[in-house]
Structure 1
Amino acid sequence: MNRLAEIILKHPKSFLGIFFILTLSAFYPALQITTDFNLENFFPKNDPTIKDYQYLEEEFGRDDNVIMVGFESDSLLTKDVLRDLKTITDSASNISNIKEVRSILSAQQINKSGQRLSFDDYFDTENLNTLSDSTKSALLTDPFAEGFLINKEGNVTAFYLEIESGKNNYSSREQIISELHDVLQPYQNSYEFKISGIPYYRNQYVQYLNEEILFYISISSVLIILLLWVLYRSVTGIIIPMLIVWLTILFTLAVMQVTGGYFEIMTSTIAPILLCVGIADSIHMISKYDDARLQGMDKPRSIKETLITLGNATFLTSITTAIGFGTLMTSDIVPMKRFGIYTAVGVMIAFLVTIFFVPSSLRIINVKHIFKDKSAGIFNFFSRSLKKLSQFNQRNYRKVTFWFLLGTIVIGSGSTFLRVNGKVFDELGEETEPIQHARFFSENLSPPFPMEFIIDTGQENGIMSPDFLRRIEAFDSYMYSFPEVERTITFNTLLKEVHQTMAPEQSAINEIPDNEQLIAQYLLLLEVSDTEFLDRVTDFSYQKIRVAAQIRDAGSFRVTQMRDSLSAYLNDQFPESKITITGSTILSADLNGKIVNSLFKSIALAFVLISAIMAFLFRNVRMIILSLVPNILPLIMVAGIMGFTGIDIKSSTAVIFTIAFGIAVDDSIHYLARLRVEMKRGASLDEALSIATEKTGKAIIVTSLILLAGFGTLMTSVFTSTVYMGLLVCLTVFGALLADLVLLPSLFYWIRPQFSFMKDGQQPAPKLEHVPSEREPLHQE
């Protein structure tokens, strides 16, 4: 750091020029970064969960490519409403990248025509009239229409836009949704349309995400600027830290875009995190610079002293924070892995920007110190309070340690109530439009959350066995024993309709034909009728059968319980068949299950790596333990608070632990580094603890206040996960502040570890009493 300080002091304008060029170069790629949200992208391509989902797509098509539009009308089946619906659906069918539009106007009734089957439209679309009572009754009890195209009461309907294969991406969906709104616009005064479906939710999620990223960067910046003004009362004290975090965010976004990254459910939080976390090192450096100037050092000496004293500590905090995030690279969850990589990169970018930009700026600006006399009262108050705190710790270190650890145990006991649970539509708050619209479908038609089953008999025509079909019927009944299951469609659903149409007397006795030849005959009739019904429930060789269920968004915890029970049932009842359970709901449930393993692995790895760094730095087992305690306790507290308040672990809240660890480790390392420096300079342990508490404590308080301001704004988000992040990180910051300034010094007073650089019998170096004035030359260290 001594050599680096000399280089920066000689060439400050060159370094600032380099930053200017890099800034211009980073603007374009940073502005090109995109946003997307796709559950499939959460998993590695060879993951079994994805393989099962792709198997469903290959055999029967996707279950996440339909946009739903519903509305309520007491005169739904009258001529005027039906004409409006026809105009709307005809226009919707012309929307770009829409393969098909299904509505009650395309619903078909199975009829007998001699010895053949006919599929006749319920409505004459050329001459729309009110349905007869018998036809209306048939429509409202049609298993393929009721709960899907129309409700039992006949006053709510929906139409469905199926997106073409290969076009279910953000840009295509955005165009579809825009054109759909144009189609619906002329009828907004007549009907209150509700739009839902997984594709729609994903794009709405992205819209909210984009708005919030800009909003929270802006509002957090404003709050941090106000706080810096209160603390420093100088333009310089605002510009330098804010330029550092803004440059950090800009460079990180540029790196993301150039390397193929984009904003998604996790990486979208990188910018707010870097805004809050990236400012800490600059605050520590500015505080040290001001201390040096107040002691009478001239500007070059103060800058050099700042780099020598804090350069290694800043590097160490950046490395440990980057490790905390970087260990997420071991995760099986792709967005979590990307989040870890890019946040770690951002932390190291913040270090590089800080270590070069702060000294270069301080060298060329014409100010003696950063904070103004008007704000001196605040820092004097901090100094007096921290000095009293140090004395209190020294007198009561046993009591402080006992009560702190006891409080952690009590709060941490709540972690026993933690559970892994996340919903498909989980991130947005209950009051948002997408969630309200999804509830409309769940309450009036069927919930838009699919659970799919493929039962492969292993032999051609295997599904024609009456025994097999009876077991399918029993399975269908078993599914309805779960209150979350709202609607199911199976091959049996179609077969029973055909049987009732062709042989009503026999169907009154046996809903399902008990004769394999009769089943084969019905299948032949369905084939020649060229209906799409058959393709939705079985394959062309009649070897596999599909069971499609619509369930409530019960959460991954409950979905996993249901899947385990259903899987056990199927394996018992169909031992000769291959069972596949998949669907978007399963993707979401499996995602949350994988998160726990990834989280534990990454945090354990972070502890190991950071312990290794501490071992190298201090070469003392007690010091390693002491350095990790204030970083572990906030995590335990966060877990306990989450457990007591019912906040579940899911894809978004899991990273809170990593963020908490990254934040907690920074200030404790700054404290320990200052303690080490003071003891090397000849101070006793008690003196060094007092100096570290008073001097480094001020910077810790300032950075904590900034973190509280920055993350506190997140609690106003429409995303529940962002609200939790803001709340829990703020609690973590407060817990880490207490741990670093109260618990950590108390532990030192109690345990009194020996430092590796103080050999037995060695006398401390004499303490330097004289501080060079500004007129004295800068000597070499």
Structure 2
Amino acid sequence: MKKMFSIGFWEFIARVILRNRVVFLSGIVIITILFSMQWKNIKFTQTEANLIPFDDQINVDYRSFLKNFGEEGNLVVIATKDPKLFTPKVYKAWDNLMTTIQSNKEVDLVISISNLKKLVKNDSLESFELKPLINTNKTQNLDYLSQVKSELLNNLPFYEGLLFNKKSGAIRSAIYLDKKIINTKARKDFVLNKLIPQIAKFETETGVDLRTSGMPYIRTLNAKTILDEIGLFIGAALLITGLIFFFFFRSFRATIISLIIVIIGVMWSFGLLGLLGYEITVLTALVPTLVIVIGIPNCIFLTNKYHQEYKIHANKAKALQRVITKTGTATLMTNLTTALGFATFIATNNVLLTEFGVVTSINIIALYVLCLIIIPIFHSYIPAPIPRHLGHLEREYLTSFMDWILRTVKYNRVGVYITTILLLIFGIIGIYEMRISGSIIEDMPKKTAFFDDIRFFEKEFDGVMPLEIMIDTKRKKGVMKLSMLKRMEELEETIQEIPELAKPLSIVNLVKYSKQAYYNGNPEYYELPTQQEQAFILSYAKNATQNSKENLMKSYVDSTGQFARITTFIKDENGEKMNAIEAQIRAKANKLFPSPQYNVIITGKASVFQKGTQYLLDNLLSSLAFAFVITSLLVLIMFRSVKMVMVSLIPNLLPLVLTAGLMGFLGIPLKPSTILVFGIAYGLSVDDTLRFLAQYRLELARNDWKIKKSVIATFNDAGISMFYTSIVLFFGFSVFMLSSFGGTVALGGLVAITLFFGMLSNLVLLPALVLSLNKTLSNEQEFIKPTIDILEHTDEEVDAMENKK
């Protein structure tokens, strides 16, 4: 009765679609136009992905730091090791470059050798003055420039690590952008349209190679590369899936309409992003390509079914109606399970993943509706398929492959289980070799010039990723007490002992520089003042900065004097060591600044990103477990058999374990991009399992509960569609390997491999388990009729419904 109702419902849907073709096509056009009007609202994210919930303590601490000291990632650095910099012609061009950069409204401050100030004592004012290091009237003299270089490298330790590397002779300029534009489109416009052309002009004029980096620069070029690759992925996905579709069906018309369907889906996906106000991130940028990769299998399944029906009846109208009537519930449920796999990301309590899950799951259902409407309507307008189009139904290579699997399953199940156990052991051993990476730049395009520049700065200046330490003295003006400065100096000594960290910068450096200036610039006095010296040296420093626009202290001490800041930089390749590094700093800080007298916060983008990666890992593992539970419940509702639940999970867990093992042996770390592999692959692979088990149950009823005969019949029907779908998904996800981003390459490659393993597992291990457990799974008493039937309805059932009418 339930099945008759289902047939009647889908027969009604088929009749409505085919009798109102113009209305449905017009509706799709109108919806597409409405979605395209939302494209103007699409924005690209201007910040790194914050993987931690807003109210988490890590984010609370980071916002506290930003409140006191502003945006930390506003530094752009330009450097060179070319000794020609200290020649008159090149120095003049360098000076002009820095002056031009400083003139941009987006730039707050430029610190360079061309405008460098040195601290000089003024006894009459009992203050320090900032005077130019370089006399501009003498810069045409080569000997003078050599003296400047010598003084910089030997007499100004305050600037070491900030503007020069004494050992290698590398010189750099520090460009501080206006903090208000760091997370806006203005930053992108400045970097791409002003900074880069100005640097290129200098290089052309002088022949000197410059290196550029810093978080604003890295963010901008990284974002530009992501945007450029969206078009590449969409084009490549359309090409490869279109070729596969044509290879299967040998029909230009069917291929073109399938591509039109997924192109409409892509247009809807962009419109949905604009409608919901979601930004294009490294994840949502993948959605349009996923729409193509997941949409084409729907087109293949429905087109294949239409050809099967037409071959039986040779009646186009009847075949088109029965495509919907017989497969409506089956295609709906398989698309729902796929959407559910992506929807589990919504439960991660992470904005980045939640948005990805929402957009992807909605688009999967929208694609299903598009395919169900457009494919029957399109084929109703064109001529019926000819024998060439139907040839794929009896291809020798496919039948040979299926025969080989059947022989293996029937006669060598012991070998299948031994192989499975060995692969499982391999995967488990590999899992213990896996590592977690919180590197911000690890996934960035390694073949680009800006990535080479990052490595340059990591080598010459020990990194560009900031690690911040904020100390709350709990009282106003507490930072400038000598006892406090000495504690900070001791903490900085600990930081300097950590090889992965750069020389720290803080108010301590400025106070040391003040003492050096007080003693007429003698570098031997670059140290903290003694108790006897502190009164007049610190008063000099305070007088110098109290009303000065060039307040050197403002970056290291807040306006109240209560909060101090120590900034260091970490080589991003050491992101994995972040926890150990922080623990070492924290242990020392707790001794020097005991609670509750002080409060020490260790934060910064490098730290937040690393902790976010661990948080994401924990949440995605929970999300994957949630997907297992939901899938199990779905199987339980459909079949009302706990044994069927176990049989459905085992073939889908094995590919995940195997892929995790490969990641461990190949040195591919767990990171935001690769963690997604498991949820995506599981959501796509489980569809094949459900289709196989559902078809197997039907074949048992058809074949008087004869096991082997039922398995063979299942292969002849579900096996081919499982193979076709897996091939399209394999090559579709392989498109992401064209990316220059390591994370996207890993995501595409690992999902493709996992789905390939999943196909073999569902075609070999699953039927082997079914045959081995046949005494219980085939028992008519235990194999209760399902609550939800996702099977294709048979000719007999459809005929019975039609005769009843």
Q: Unaligned 5+ residue runs, structure 2?
A: 1-9, 786-791
The partner residue of 2:130 within 90, 109, 119 is 119
How many pairs were matched up?
775
Secondary structure of the residue aligned to 2:564 is strand
Which residue matches 2:360?
343
CA 1:70–1:504: 2 relative to 1, 3 Å: closer
Matched residue, 1:184: 199
**Which of 315, 318, 321 matches 2:338?**
321
- Counterpart Cα distance in 2 of 1:246 and 1:91: 45
Amino acid at match of 1:234: S
Q: 1:568 aligns with which of 587, 598, 608?
A: 587
C-alpha change, 1:103 and 1:32, in structure 2 (3 Å) is same
Q: 1:711 aligns with which of 728, 733, 747?
A: 733
Map 1:195-234; keep pairs closer than 5 Å. 195-234=212-251
Structure 1 residues 531-570: aligned runs within 5 Å = 531-570=550-589
Specify whether residues 672 and 7 from structure 1 end up closer, same or farther in structure 2 by C-alpha distance, changes over 3 A only: farther
Deviation of 1:534 after TM superposition, in Å, equals 1.7
State how far apart, in whole Å, the 1-side matches of 2:612 and 2:145 are. 49
Compared CA separation, residues 583 and 350, structure 1 to 2 (3 A): same
Give yes or no for the alignment of 1:151 onto 2:162.
no
Shift of 1:776: 13
Specify which of 610, 618, 637 is matched with residue 597 of structure 1: 618
Give the superposition deviation at 1:388.
Answer: 4.3
- The aligned runs of 1:34-49 (5 Å cut-off) are 34-39=43-48, 41-49=50-58
What does residue 269 of structure 2 align with? Answer: 252
Give me the whole-angstrom Cα distance separating, in 1, the residues matched to 2:148 and 2:763. Answer: 77
Does the C-alpha gap of structure 1 residues 89 and 570 become closer, same or farther in structure 2, counting only changes over 3 Å? same
Are the counterparts in 2 of residues 555 and 589 from structure 1 also a CA contact under 8 Å?
no
Match of 1:283 among 300, 303, 309: 300
Answer whether contact 2:293 2:732 (CA < 8 A) is retained: yes
Deviations 1:661-716 (CA, angstroms, capped at 9, x unpaired): 12211222222232234345455343332122122211221222222222223223
Structure 1 gap ranges (5+): none
One-letter code aligned to 2:259: M
Is the contact made by 1:111 and 1:120 (CA closer than 8 Å) also made in structure 2?
Answer: yes
Residue 159 of structure 2 is aligned to residue 138 of structure 1: no
Identify the residue that residue 713 of structure 2 maps to in structure 1: 691
The 1:454/1:367 distance shift into structure 2, 3 A limit, reads same
State the percentage of identical aligned residues: 24
Aligned with 2:322 (options 305, 316, 322) = 305
Written as runs of structure 1 = structure 2, the 5 A alignment for 1:471-490 is 471-490=487-506
Task: Determine the structure 2 residue equivalent to 1:525.
Answer: 540
1:483-508 deviation digits (Å, cap 9, x = unpaired): 11122112221222222332589996
Structure 2: how far apart are the matches of 1:507 and 1:468?
Answer: 23
Query: 1:166 matched to which residue of 2?
Result: 180
One-letter amino acid of the structure 2 residue matched with residue 77 of structure 1: F
**One of 690, 694, 700 as aligned partner of 1:673:** 694
In the alignment, what sits opposite 1:63? 72
Deviation at 1:106, TM superposition (A): 2.4
Contact conserved, 1:40 with 1:587, CA < 8 A, in 2? no
Greater shift after overlay, 449-458 or 405-414?
Answer: 405-414
The one of 620, 633, 657 aligned to 1:636:
657
Whole-angstrom distance in 2 between the partners of 1:96 and 1:116:
31
383-392 or 203-212, larger mean C-alpha shift: 383-392
- CA RMSD, 1 decimal: 3.1
Alignment-derived partner of residue 392 in structure 1? 408
Residues 704 and 181 of structure 1: CA distance in aligned 2, closer, same or farther (over 3 Å) = same
- Contact persistence 1:23–1:251 (CA under 8 A): yes
The whole-number CA distance in structure 2 between the counterparts of 1:761 and 1:747 is 16
More deviation in 210-219 or 1-10? 1-10
Q: In the alignment, which residue of structure 1 is the partner of 2:450?
A: 434
CA distance in 2, matches of 1:775, 1:572: 83
Retained in 1: the 8 A contact 2:311–2:390? no
1:730 maps onto 2:752 in alignment? yes
2:513 and 2:526 in contact (8 A); partners too: no
Q: Distance in 1 between matches of 2:629 and 2:770?
A: 22
**Contact 1:70-1:156 at 8 Å conserved across structures:** yes
> Partners of 2:387 and 2:537 in 1: how far apart?
87
* Aligned partners of 1:383 and 1:695 also within 8 Å: no
Map of 1:438-457 to 2, 5 A cutoff? 438-457=454-473
Q: Once the 2 structures are TM-superposed, how far is the Cα of residue 198 of structure 1 from its aligned partner? A: 0.8
The residue type paired with residue 721 of structure 1 is: G
Give secondary structure in 1 for the equivalent of 2:279.
coil
Question: CA offset at residue 134 of structure 1?
Answer: 6.2
Does the Cα contact within 8 Å between 1:456 and 1:545 map onto a contact in 2?
yes
Q: 1:521 to 1:58 in 2, by over 3 A?
A: farther
Greater mean deviation of Cα atoms: 420-429 or 535-544? 535-544
Which letter maps to 1:471? R
CA spacing shift, 1:386–1:505, aligned 2, 3 Å = closer
Deviations 1:366-398 (A, max 9, x none): 223696256566x34313431442243123334
Q: Secondary structure at the match of 1:354?
A: helix
Query: 1:479 offset after TM fit, Å?
Result: 1.0
Question: Does the C-alpha gap of structure 1 residues 485 and 392 become closer, same or farther in structure 2, counting only changes over 3 Å?
Answer: closer
CA distance in 2, matches of 1:370, 1:94: 72
Equivalent-residue separation in structure 2 for 1:506 and 1:721 (angstroms): 50
Check whether the contact 2:51–2:615 (CA below 8 A) recurs between aligned residues.
Answer: no
Structure 1's 79 and 548: CA in aligned 2 closer, same or farther, altered over 3 A? Answer: same
1:261 to 278, 288, 301: 278
